[in-house]
């Protein structure tokens, strides 16, 4: 079962000739989730070979243009492609007002329904779930109401060690009960603990998106142990004062969050257009935490299912 992140955009407010504004696509069990939708997102989706029609859920961190301007064109394209399925968008409540204004002019005969789910950006709370994943909002510290997102794969169902079925003579009628967590009592009265009979087939995988935000150590507790932590790194340490003033972070500050959280891997992005390359970001972050990657458009991060628990 797939758990894969594709980076569509890595720039901050100003796009450059080589960087697009923020957008990520997460593939969880062949269900596609779009996180932020900066200008040019649908072009990047096509370049990456990701079907626009496959996206049913869009998560918008905040209502600054570099994170949302691509949404309006995407909505139009979906209509031109004949979409009929509902499109779910998760964002701060004012997005619904913006969409209503836009659609009153450009989308009066839209062929599908848009459902906006309002988020209280001040709270860490579950905002979406299905049989494969749970999604939580992460309070962030920016100039306007902003939240990040934690995608956490659901705990897998227990499997039974096959050799124990014959060893203890476990009847078929007990298989489901044991998978649901029950201990097993043999015919001679011996109690076999569930933990001895079962195993989880894989580690649940996770990805956190934290942008835009000033340095905020509280983030660490909400993303503790996350496999992939994407944290904005708009500036290098030389401009730490500007980062604080504008509600952004430096690469080193992003690394501090990763270290506090015990993240498995740190992904840096949302780079200011003043930087032609991100070598300094990478150097400053890696002095605090490793492994760290300065992401590029087109980067794909596949998380394998891993070992049994």
Q: Is 195 left (phi over 0), alpha (psi -120 to 50) or beta?
A: alpha
Q: In this predicted structure, what is the pLDDT of residue 307?
A: 52
Residue 159 CB neighbour total at 10 angstroms: 15
DSSP-assigned states of every residue in 62-107: --SGGGTTHHHHHHHHHHHTT--S-EEEEE-THHHHHHHHHHHHH-
- The average confidence (pLDDT) of the chain is 95
Predicted pLDDT at 68: 98
Non-local (6+) Cβ contacts of 23 within 8 A are 8, 9, 34, 35, 36, 37, 38, 40, 41, 44, 70
- Which of these is catalytic: 66, 109, 130, 188? 66
Q: For residue 112, how far is the Cα from the chain centroid?
A: 25
Q: Give the closest residue to 143 by CA, choosing from 242, 15, 269.
A: 242
Task: Please report which residue ranges of 262-308 form alpha helices under DSSP H.
Answer: 279-286
What are the structural domains of the chain? 3-156+200-302 (3.60.15.10), 159-198 (no CATH)
pLDDT at 107: 74
- Please give the annotated binding residues, written as ranges: 62, 64, 66-67, 142, 212, 270
Locus of tokens 């992401």:
295
Known binding residues for Zn(2+) are: 62, 64, 66-67, 142, 212, 270
Residues of the chain with pLDDT under 70: 307-309
Phi, psi of 30 (to 5 degrees): 65, 25
66 classed as catalytic? yes
C-alpha 205, offset from chain centre: 11
Q: Within 10 A of 49 (CB to CB), how many other CB atoms are there?
A: 7
- Residue 309: its pLDDT value, please? 41
- Which residues is 7 bridged to in the sheet? 24
């Amino acid at each position: 079962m797939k758990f894969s992140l594709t980076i569509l955009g890595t720039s901050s407010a100003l796009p450059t000739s080589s960087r697009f504004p923020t957008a990520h696509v997460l593939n969880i069990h062949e269900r596609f989730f779009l996180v932020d939708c900066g200008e040019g997102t649908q072009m990047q989706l096509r370049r990456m070979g990701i079907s626009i029609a496959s996206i049913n859920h869009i998560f918008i961190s905040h209502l600054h243009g570099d994170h949302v301007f691509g949404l309006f064109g995407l909505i139009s394209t979906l209509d031109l492609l004949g979409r009929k399925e509902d499109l779910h968008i998760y964002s701060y409540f004012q997005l619904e007002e913006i969409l209503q204004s836009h659609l009153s002019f450009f989308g009066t005969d839209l062929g599908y329904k848009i459902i906006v789910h309002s988020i209280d950006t001040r709270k860490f709370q579950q905002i979406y779930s299905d049989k494969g994943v749970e999604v939580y909002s992460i309070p962030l510290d920016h100039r306007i109401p902003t939240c990040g997102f934690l995608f956490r794969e659901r705990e897998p169902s227990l499997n039974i060690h096959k050799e124990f079925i014959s060893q203890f003579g476990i009847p078929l009628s007990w298989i489901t009960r044991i998978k649901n967590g029950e201990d097993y009592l043999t015919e001679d009265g011996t109690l076999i603990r569930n933990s001895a009979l079962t195993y989880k087939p894989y580690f649940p995988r996770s990805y956190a998106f934290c942008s835009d935000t000033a340095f905020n150590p509280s983030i660490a507790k909400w993303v503790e142990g996350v496999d992939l932590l994407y944290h904005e790194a708009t500036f290098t340490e030389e401009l730490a004062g500007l980062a604080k003033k504008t509600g952004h972070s430096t690469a080193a500050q992003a690394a501090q969050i990763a270290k506090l959280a015990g993240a498995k891997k740190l992904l840096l992005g949302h780079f200011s257009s003043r930087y032609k390359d991100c070598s300094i970001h990478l150097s400053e972050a890696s002095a605090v935490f490793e492994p760290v990657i300065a992401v590029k458009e087109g980067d794909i991060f596949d998380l394998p299912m891993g070992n049994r628990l």
